[in-house]
Amino acid sequence: MIDLIAFAKTYVAARGKFLDAARARGLSVDSRENAAVKGPEGEALYGDVVQLGNPQAPHRLLMVSATHGIEGYCGSAAQIDFLNGPQADLAGEDLSIVLLHANNPYGFAWGRRVNEDNVDLNRNFVDFNAPLPENSGYANIRRAIVPKSLDEEALKEANKAITEFGKRHGFDRVQEAITRGQYHDAEGLYYGGTFPTWSNKNLRDVIRTYIAGADKAALIDFHTGLGPYGYGEIITEYEKTDPNYLRASRWYNGEATSTIGGDSSSVALTGTTDLAFHDELPDITATAIALEFGTVPSNEVFAATRADNWIHLHDRPGTLQWDEVKKQIRHAFYQEKDDWKKMVLERSREVINMTVHGLKGED
């Protein structure tokens, strides 16, 4: 049985559903406020953590939602569906399951992919003591990624520059230039930042508090906005020869893709969440995936993300344009349709099962 009640209309509603589901299971909630910022209605913003099963269990699974704020509608629903359904009983003496709900609550509440620092959290896990990664392709088409205006003429010009870059260098290079991550344009897209953000530190602390000490651990980080409509791609950032990739490939019946290996709908990225997982768990057999659900074609996702960046730089809440763009970006990362929601929950359940099976197995 799939019940779509797990999906919410706002960050506050999603959090309410999550807290209700946790209480119904008798779980205590570790609420971590990002006190530096508030939501659009002045509401307090939290990442909330619950743990099921034995806290000292040898096998532990961490599931994270809203790494990319607005994508949290999907991951939050998967977490609430998990708590409301029979899969929660998978946790026990040998297996602990930890849910981190809304790790980028600012982005979730404000309907943004990025956080309060305009940082893409899934590019923020780099070593800030080392030279920051370069992305020369981004610099090449920066004026098309961060246009001066959202007027038809300006966008036509911008899209033309992107098409020309694609014709010269290949369209894979366009995706790479835009999405791989960049560390020099604080007002741009896919900006990885210059310091560990609140959500970065919070994720690391959750891993240290709840997952360190396990023998085997797994991470499922929920995302949307890439790949075919409603399909949940199991993405890894491992080389295909990496033992971590080979393990993921076995756990997920050959379905795990590799961004570096070139068979993912994502290009290879810098500073992704899985790096924190491995950093904080150096002596543990750890397997980290992103579960990425497709929504609309990638050019629409890009247009929405670019427009959202523009309004936060140049406009303010309440204008007609602001509301239009907020609708546009919501549609790009959250498909409010029953078939999509059903696909999300069915696939999430399936991937959770495969992950638990893998954690408990000999592999």
DSSP single-letter state for residue 87: G
Rule CB under 5 A: is residue 326 a binding residue for Zn ion?
A: no
Tell the smallest beta-carbon distance from residue 360 to Zn ion (Å). Answer: 28
Q: How far is the CB of 301 from Zn ion (least distance, A)?
A: 10
Q: Which is nearer to Zn ion, 6 or 226 (CB)?
A: 226
What is the per-residue DSSP string for 178-194? HHS-BSS-TTSSSB--S
CB of 225 to Zn ion, least distance (A): 6
Residue (233 or 359) nearer to Zn ion, CB? 233
Which range, of 66-74, 152-160, 254-262, 266-274, touches Zn ion by CB under 5 A? 66-74
Which of 68, 341 has the CB closer to Zn ion? 68
Contact set for Zn ion, span 221-260 (CB under 5 A): 223
CB closest to Zn ion, residue no: 223
Given the complex with Zn ion, which of 48 and 233 has the nearer CB atom?
233
Q: Is 338 helix (H, G, I), strand (E, B) or coil?
A: helix
Residues 184-223 that bind Zn ion (CB under 5 A): 223
Residue 230, token pair as written in the block: 């409603």
Residues 6+ apart with CB under 8 A from 231: 293, 294, 343, 347
Hey, which residues does 30 pair with through a beta bridge?
49
| Core vs surface per residue 30-63: b (16+ CB within 10 A) or e | bebebeebbbeeeeebbbbbbbbbeeebbbbbbb
Report helix angle 273-280 to 198-206, nearest 10.
Answer: 40
Which of 210/222 has CB closer to Zn ion?
A: 222
Q: How many residues bind Zn ion (CB under 5 A)?
A: 3
Distance of closest approach, residue 233 Cβ to Zn ion, in angstroms: 11
Residues whose CB is less than 8 angstroms from the CB of residue 263 and which lie 6 or more positions away in sequence, other chains included: 257
Applying CB under 5 A, among 15, 17, 32, 68 the residue interacting with Zn ion is: 68
* β-sheet bridge partners, residue 49: 30, 100
d(CA 89, CA 249): 25
Window of 61-69, 123-131, 183-191, 253-261 that interacts with Zn ion by CB under 5 A: 61-69
Q: Which is nearer to Zn ion, 51 or 273 (CB)?
A: 273
* Interface of this chain with Zn ion, residues 96 to 115, rule: CB under 5 A: none
In the complex, the residues that contact Zn ion under the rule CB under 5 A are 68, 71, 223
